[in-house]
């Protein structure tokens, strides 16, 4: 098996958006075109409700939102495609931020009617910080929405992207006739039928030809010519090098629900998107083509199969070949581990794989060895950066509601915290447990999963905190740090790793503490030097 060819075949990307922009629907349709499923919602369907393939947790089906990143892989036109479908809801943004460390490129989905929304801005900012190549897909073109040029302006201004349209809509909403594909030079006619065939695509490289009127009518032909003239005049020509550097961003239009514009997006994507990229470790830059295997854990998921109480660590392979039953160094523990049944994913379906290549996501059965950010290598000591815990903004005491199930509760909390669902702080003063989350909806997810996956019940009480700050004194033995610990003792806790955390009760208190104890450094993420 040619190692270089295998790397060139891989495309690992994330799909990000605001909730309800159609991200999970787009994921489904990509799987449909890839032949991975036969009909949308087919994997878990019943007569009443069809659930999306990638939303495999029970609570996701009930709420109709994605709360965890899922990994889906399929083959399309000789390419191995790994999709990471991420939660759009802001309360689960931390999972999405961590997932963005494992992707080589990103597709951003934008709703034609709502335009750029707040959550999209935050996620795109993270992509831009890391120079991740971005393709934009403007969805729901069969509905009334904003003008195409207004949307392109909004994307440039709000997201700071340099856009170049590779397709352009012919009308919108009730007048939506189809899309002109600038990349392939063809017209795709919209029939409003979700079982659309490819026969409706007509090669058309000269829009000035009078044949255009026969296909889409006089009024639409005139509007399309004017729009394309404006596109060529205003936007730069597509430059693949600039796209790969993260400085130019192709835009496609379509309707994922109607399978429309999805094939064009996928065909262009496999043509231009990058194969596995190099990744920076603390020690050095690691190239995908290196022979030695390295990888890192970006996600942990307990109970993917509730019947087996399994816990999986998701590992992104960065370099080399990952082989089943071969010992690898767990850098943080400094010990060798072997994996007899590494998994590849298709939503919650898993299959055992013998070898995996850079770009692939491998699921390793975990008995508690891993935490998010851990590195596996063939012996070299490496630490991949960029997978921090964020400072929570919501805090609640967690109480056991069923004394007979204390053991199950603590096991459940322990495993869910390892997943990065939320963060657990133990107060130094009285040992009470406080759960901190980025979003309030997380508490519902924790309560639901504790009950349905671990058979434990919990209740919450409000804990009056404003922000969690990780504490690092310049000198642990000086008087200032001792005074800080004495004065602030009722606000001090330790996190799951044993790091000291200051739970400030207000913004004012935080500012006063920083002024009064300048040698005690406070950090808003758990990852600091």
| CATH code, 446 | 3.30.70.3280
Kindly give, in sequence order, each residue whose CB lies less than 8 Å from that of residue 78, ignoring residues fewer than 6 positions away: 9
Joined tokens for residue 110: 């934008």
Which of 80-94, 109-123, 182-196, 452-466 has the highest average model confidence (pLDDT)? 452-466
Same domain, 324 and 209: no
Residue 389 forms part of a structural domain? no
**Predicted pLDDT of residue 182:** 84
Task: Work out how many domains the chain is built from and give that number.
Answer: 3
Q: What is the pLDDT of residue 199?
A: 44
Q: Specify which residues 375 forms β-bridges with.
A: 296
| Predicted pLDDT of residue 44 | 36
Q: Residue 161 falls within a domain, yes or no?
A: yes
**47 pLDDT above the threshold of 50:** no
pLDDT of 201 reads 61
Residue 82's pLDDT is: 86
The residue among 337, 321, 202, 252 whose CA lies nearest residue 22 is: 252
Question: What torsion, rounded to 10 degrees, do the Cα atoms 430, 436, 440, 443 define?
Answer: -70
| Domain identity same for 21 and 151 | yes
Same domain, 168 and 314: no
- For residue 242, pLDDT over 90 is answered with yes
Q: pLDDT by residue (tens digit) across 325-335?
A: 999 999 988 99
| Proportion of the chain above pLDDT 90, given as a percent | 24
What is the average per-residue pLDDT within 173-184? 80
- What is the average pLDDT score of the chain? 80
Choose between 81 and 439: higher pLDDT: 81
My answer on whether 197 and 345 are in the same domain is no
Range 140-169 average pLDDT: 89
Q: What is the pLDDT of residue 60?
A: 47
CB 380 within 8 A of CB 334: no
CB 106 within 8 A of CB 99: no
Query: Do the domain assignments include residue 259?
Result: yes
Q: What is the mean pLDDT of residues 489-503?
A: 89
Taking phi over 0 as left and psi of -120 to 50 as alpha, with beta for the rest, 457 belongs to: beta
- Split at pLDDT 50, 70, 90, the class of 58 is low
Residue 364 has pLDDT above 70, yes or no: yes
pLDDT digits (tens, 9 = 90+) for 447-457: 888 888 888 99
Q: Residues 164, 202: one domain?
A: yes
Least confident of 168-177, 239-248, 387-396: 387-396
243 and 332 share a domain?
no
pLDDT at 46 over 70: no
CATH number for the domain harbouring residue 251:
3.40.50.300
d(CA 58, CA 453): 10
**139 and 254 Cβ atoms separated by less than 8 Å:** yes
Residues 357 and 419 reside in one and the same domain: no
Residue 1 has pLDDT above 70, yes or no: no
The whole-number average pLDDT for the span 113-133 is 82
Domain endpoint, select from 342, 377, 412: 377
Rounded to whole angstroms, the Cα distance separating 92 from 130 reads 20
The verdict on residue 221 lying in a domain is yes
User: Last residue of a domain, which of 315, 345, 377?
Assistant: 377
More confident residue, 354 or 56: 354
- Mean pLDDT, residues 228-233: 87
Share of the chain above pLDDT 70, in %: 81
Q: Does the pLDDT value for residue 307 go beyond 60? A: no
Based on the fold, state whether residues 421 and 362 are members of the same structural domain. Answer: no
In this prediction, residue 119 has a pLDDT band, given cuts at 50, 70 and 90, of confident
Do 289 and 250 lie in a common domain? no
Considering the domain architecture, whether residues 19 and 158 belong to the same structural domain is answered as yes
| 385 within some domain | no
Q: Does the structure show a pLDDT above 70 at 71?
A: yes
Give yes or no for residue 210 having a pLDDT over 90: no
For 521, counting Cβ atoms within 10 Å of its Cβ (0-12 exposed, 13-18 middle, 19+ buried), the class is middle
- Give the pLDDT mean for 334-353: 79
- Looking at the predicted structure, is the pLDDT value of residue 491 above 50? yes
Beta strands 322-323 and 355-356, pairing class? antiparallel
Q: Are 210 and 320 in the same domain? A: no
pLDDT of 64 > 70? The answer is no
Average pLDDT over residues 354-367: 88
pLDDT 10s digits, 264-297? 888 899 899 999 988 888 889 999 999 999 999 8
Task: Report whether pLDDT(209) > 80.
Answer: no
Identify which has the larger pLDDT, 438 or 131.
131
pLDDT computed for residue 528 by the predictor = 47
Phi and psi (nearest 5°) for 208? Answer: -80, -15
Indicate whether 209 belongs to any domain. Answer: yes
- Same structural domain for residues 292 and 351? yes
What was the pLDDT predicted at 427? 92
Who wins on pLDDT, 155 or 453? 155
Q: How far is CA 480 from CA 472, 477, 494, 517, in A?
A: 12, 9, 19, 6
What is the structure's pLDDT at 323? Answer: 92
Over 90: is that where the pLDDT of 414 sits? Answer: no
Domain that holds residue 328: 279-377
Q: Give the mean pLDDT of 520-528.
A: 74
Residue 204 has pLDDT above 70, yes or no: no
Which neighbouring-strand residues pair with 503? 468
Is 408 a domain residue?
A: yes
């Amino acid at each position: 098996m040619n190692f270089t060819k295998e790397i060139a075949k891989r495309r690992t990307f994330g799909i990000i958006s605001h909730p309800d922009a159609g991200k999970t629907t787009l994921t489904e349709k990509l799987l449909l075109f890839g032949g991975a499923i036969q009909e949308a919602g087919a994997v878990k369907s019943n007569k009443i409700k069809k659930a999306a393939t990638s939303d495999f947790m029970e609570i996701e089906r009930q709420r109709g939102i994605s709360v965890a990143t899922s990994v889906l892989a399929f083959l399309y036109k000789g390419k191995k495609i790994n999709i990471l479908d991420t939660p759009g809801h802001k309360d689960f943004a931390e999972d999405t931020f961590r997932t963005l460390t494992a992707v080589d490129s990103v597709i951003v989905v934008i709703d034609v009617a709502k335009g750029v929304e707040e959550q999209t801005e935050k996620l795109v900012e993270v992509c831009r910080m890391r120079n991740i190549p971005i393709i934009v897909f403007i969805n729901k073109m069969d509905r009334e929405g904003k003008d195409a040029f207004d949307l392109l302006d909004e994307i440039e201004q709000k997201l700071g992207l340099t856009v170049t349209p590779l397709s352009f809509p012919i009308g919108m909403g009730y007048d939506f006739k189809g899309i002109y594909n600038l990349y392939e030079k063809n017209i795709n006619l919209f029939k409003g039928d979700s079982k659309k065939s490819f026969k409706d695509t007509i090669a058309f490289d000269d829009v000035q030809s009078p044949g255009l009127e026969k296909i889409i009518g006089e009024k639409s032909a005139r509007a399309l010519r004017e729009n394309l003239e404006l596109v060529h005049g205003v936007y730069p020509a597509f430059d693949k090098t600039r796209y790969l550097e993260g400085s130019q961003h192709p835009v496609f239009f379509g309707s994922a629900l109607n399978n429309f514009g999805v094939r064009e997006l996928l065909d262009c994507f496999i043509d231009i998107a990058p194969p596995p990229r190099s990744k920076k470790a603390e020690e050095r830059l690691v190239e995908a083509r290196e022979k030695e295997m390295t990888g890192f854990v970006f996600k942990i998921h307990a109970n993917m199969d509730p019947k087996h109480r399994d816990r999986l660590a998701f590992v992104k392979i960065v370099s080399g070949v990952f082989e089943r039953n071969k010992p690898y160094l767990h850098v943080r523990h400094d010990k060798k581990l072997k994996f007899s049944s590494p998994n590849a994913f298709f939503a919650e379906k898993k299959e055992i794989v013998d070898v995996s290549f850079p770009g692939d996501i491998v699921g390793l059965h975990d008995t508690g060895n891993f935490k998010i950010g851990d590195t596996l290598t063939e012996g070299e000591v490496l630490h991949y950066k960029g997978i921090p815990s964020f400072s929570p903004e919501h805090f609640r005491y967690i109480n056991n509601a069923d004394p007979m199930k204390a053991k199950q509760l603590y096991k459940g909390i322990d495993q869910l915290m390892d997943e990065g669902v939320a963060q657990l702080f133990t107060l130094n003063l009285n040992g009470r447990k406080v759960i901190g989350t980025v979003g309030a909806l997380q508490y519902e997810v924790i309560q639901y999963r504790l009950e349905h996956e671990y058979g434990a019940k919990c209740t919450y009480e409000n804990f009056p905190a404003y922000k969690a700050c990780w504490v690092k004194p310049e000198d642990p033995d000086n008087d200032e740090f001792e005074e800080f610990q004495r004065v602030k003792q009722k606000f001090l806790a330790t996190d799951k790793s044993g790091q000291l955390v200051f739970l400030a009760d207000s913004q004012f208190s935080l500012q006063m503490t920083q002024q009064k104890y300048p040698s005690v450094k406070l950090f808003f993420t758990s990852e600091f030097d």
